[in-house]
Structure 1
Amino acid sequence: MKKIFVLLLISNSIVAQVSNVIRNKDSYTQDVFPYKGVRIIQVDEVSSPGNEDNVFIFSKIEKNTIPDKMYFQRFTKVNDKWVLKSILEVNHNGIISSWGSRKAFGDYNKDKSVDALFIYGLYDADFKQQSVHLVFSQKDKLYTIESSVSDNFGTDKFSDNFKSLDEESKKQILEYWNKLDKKDK
């Protein structure tokens, strides 16, 4: 029994490479995190203990504005200050919705930096789904994949820089993407 407990402790310490902190999104102010939108839709604070602290923020413009606009930003703590590392701006003539429960964190390339992926969807004005999108954040780079309802999610479109990712990161991302139920019910 003692051997099993020690084995569990060892395996948990190997797997526990990142930690996720959950706080009220109102505690993330623009004074500390100068996010682009006027309201936060989703926020995740994820750290690689002893290595780096990150905050990922999805923010949007005012409600009911057409076209809709959403920003995805990665902030990393550098010398006790939060520094913007990357930003993605999404514009759409319908509705943009982050899929808050669809995300993953890890250190796929073993560089002790947090790798993160998030999912969002584009919808028409009647909230009928048009497409699904994955955003992958690694250090100061963003990579994307998208798929459309128009061909029943049969064709994936990758960002131009996706091919420059290391093989393990690509493998993890594609495994997640291929298992994702892309149709929003």
Structure 2
Amino acid sequence: MKKVLILLLFSNILTAQISNVIRNKDSYTQEVFPYKGVRAIQIDEVSAVGNEDNVFIFSKIEKNANPDKMYFQRFTKVNDKWIVKSIFEVNHSGIISAWGSRKAFGDYNKDKSVDALFIYGLYDADFKQQSVHLIFSQKDQFYTIESSVSDDFKTDKFSSNFKSLDAESKKQVLEYWGKLDKKDK
């Protein structure tokens, strides 16, 4: 039994290929990471160990701006320089809020590149929730799912490219979405 537990632990170490680095948000300057907004609100540094380094940045325009605008950018290190691989922009006449603790990282399609998903919500000016959204980042593409308070989160809307996701990535994303408590209490 002891040998089986040691073997399981060793196999988990071998398959754990995604690494998440936590640093002070102020260490990610616009000189190194030229993000589009004026203030970074969420930053995640995630690597596919030995293969790829990424920094995911949510940034926003000035506080209290209406309409609100949020940018989501994926930076990847290429030849010791951080380059923007992809950018996703959200505009909303109300408030946009990144759900910082709701995220997941993996390599679902086993291509040695980081797959990442994040959640954000749209709110009216009184901070009453209107909808919840998932952004899935894979290489230089974004895939999205959204659901609205108006029908108690019963209908999911998918980005047009979502159907092109590989089966395993789609399975993992839909599992996460299905378990997500979409109502922001």
Q: What TM bracket, shorter-length normalisation? A: over 0.9
**5+ residue gaps, structure 2:** none
Quote the Cα distance in structure 1 between the aligned partners of 2:158 and 2:7: 43
Quote the Cα distance in structure 2 between the aligned partners of 1:2 and 1:178: 36
Shift in Å, 1:88 = 0.5
Q: 1:13 maps to which residue?
A: 14
Shift in Å, 1:2 = 4.3
Quote the Cα distance in structure 2 between the aligned partners of 1:7 and 1:38: 46
Q: 1:41 maps to which residue?
A: 41
SS for the counterpart of 1:130 is: strand
Shift in Å, 1:12 = 2.7
What percentage of residue pairs aligned between the two structures are identical? Answer: 82
Deviations 1:87-144 (A, max 9, x none): 0110000000000000000000000000000000000000000000000000000000
- Write the mapping of 1:4-83 to structure 2, written as runs, cut at 5 A: 4-14=5-15, 16-83=16-83
Shift in Å, 1:8 = 1.1
Counterpart of 1:68, as a letter, is: D
- Write the mapping of 1:109-124 to structure 2, written as runs, cut at 5 A: 109-124=109-124
- Structure 2 length-normalised TM: 0.97
SS for the counterpart of 2:88 is: strand
Quote the Cα distance in structure 1 between the aligned partners of 2:13 and 2:51: 18
Quote the Cα distance in structure 2 between the aligned partners of 1:62 and 1:169: 35
**5+ residue gaps, structure 1:** none
SS for the counterpart of 2:31 is: coil
Quote the Cα distance in structure 1 between the aligned partners of 2:92 and 2:99: 16
Quote the Cα distance in structure 1 between the aligned partners of 2:52 and 2:64: 36
SS for the counterpart of 1:160 is: coil
Deviations 1:29-80 (A, max 9, x none): 0000000000000000000010000000000000001000000000000010
Give the count of matched residue pairs.
184
Counterpart of 2:150, as a letter, is: S
- Structure 1 length-normalised TM: 0.97
Quote the Cα distance in structure 2 between the aligned partners of 1:10 and 1:72: 34
Counterpart of 1:64, as a letter, is: N
Shift in Å, 1:3 = 4.5
Q: 2:85 maps to which residue?
A: 85
Give RMSD over aligned pairs. Answer: 0.8
> Runs of 4+ in structure 1 displaced over 3 angstroms?
none
